[in-house]
Amino acid sequence: MNWSRFLAILIKEFRQIRRDRLTFAMMVAVPIMQLILFGFAINTDPKHLPIAAVIADESEFSRSLIAGLENSGYFRILHRPRSEAEANSLLDAGKVQFVLVIPTDFSRRLIRGEHPAVLLAADGTDPAASGNAIAALDNISRQALSRNATGTLSGLRPTEMPFEIRVQRRYNPEGLSRYNIVPGLLGVILTMTMIMMTALAMTRERERGTMENLLATPARPFEVMIGKIAPYILIGYVQVAVILAAGRLLLDVPMLGSLALLSAALVVFMAANLAVGFTFSTIAKNQLQAMQLTFFFFLPSMLLSGFMFPFRGMPVWAQAIGEVLPLTHFLRIVRGILLKGNGFTEIAPNLWPIGAFMLIAGMIALARYHQTLD
């Protein structure tokens, strides 16, 4: 062991790290980002879940039930539709997590001791999002009317259930996690592969010395970007076909909606991610840096999109960041099409944010590519 040679190599490596500022920044930023996300943003017990309440019996008992649900911390009444059909459309669009229906004869049957039934329809596409709230319903039902059960109504005190809350888990009655995970894998895998492959394709040109040849051609920046992106869109469709086939044949995942509509949404989603990868390729000086930038974008996309943890369980600032990410909106689209049978009207509110992100990312990529030309 020659210590002078060892020290020479050691000093050389430290100098190399100092020159590679992007890699050093990733080494510092990624642990900090993980600490912030897992420490403050991730929550497996969502609270204040939105409800659309259809109240056909405006009585003191109905108001006490609503107050009991909201005071539990798990539920928040956001909509008061006039009909159950209107409430179901809100559930189909993903604007609410639950639909509560109180029938017209609720108070009359309650006073008679007939144990009336109240319907609570839950969006079962993400079982983890509503599991704890549904588990708390038994205690809420026992305590909700205790304040009203006085005098002649004392027999309604919660020694037993004064009424029944019938829970319907829509779109996933058995609460199978694979119904939620398999559609989500489409977005997660496409996000990782589309960004990584595009970023590596451009940096590979630079490392091999063929970038100069590409710049010497009469091809314009937009033509270069489209030419680099188009092959990976075809590869993305191959990945989607494999995942959907395996999900249907091996895991029996339902596919209720239009696959043609899903294919159209996939073009926008893949183009958005490929534009991000193209932008990263103009920033990275080598393939290692391209991989690091890909991971830096992929980690918050996976954690804040609702794939691993319930989206509504995150704090407001984390949801605001998640709303910017294309994966968040695509997960709602793909789960809505496959599990709910959604059409264009239901997915449009989540499709245009992906399109806007694609346009912004594409303009940034073109601007960065012009700088590379200079």
Residue 9 half-sphere exposure, CB side, CA atoms within 13 Å? 5
Instruction: Write down the pLDDT at residue 160.
Output: 63
21-25, 54-58, 239-243, 358-362: least confident range: 21-25
Residue 213 and residue 331 in one domain:
yes
Domain endpoint, select from 120, 143, 170: 170
Domain endpoint, select from 135, 170, 205: 170
State the CB neighbour count (10 A cutoff) for residue 207: 13
Question: Does some domain include residue 16?
Answer: no
Residue 228 and residue 147 in one domain:
no
Q: How far apart are CA 326 and CA 334, in angstroms?
A: 12
Instruction: Write down the pLDDT at residue 373.
Output: 47
Q: If you average pLDDT over residues 322-335, what whole number do you get?
A: 94
- Note the pLDDT tens digit of each residue in 175-214: 888 888 888 999 999 998 888 888 887 787 777 777 667 6
Place of tokens 């012009």: 370
Is the CB of residue 153 less than 8 Å from the CB of residue 107?
no
Residue 349 and residue 238 in one domain:
yes
Answer yes or no: pTM beyond 0.75: yes
Q: How far apart are CA 214 and CA 211, in angstroms?
A: 5
- Note the pLDDT tens digit of each residue in 80-93: 998 889 999 999 88
Torsion over CA: 219, 223, 229, 234 (sign): negative
Residue 223 and residue 295 in one domain:
yes
Residue 267 and residue 342 in one domain:
yes
Residue 88 belongs to what domain range? 49-170
Q: How high does pLDDT run on average in the chain?
A: 84
Is the CB of residue 102 less than 8 Å from the CB of residue 79?
no
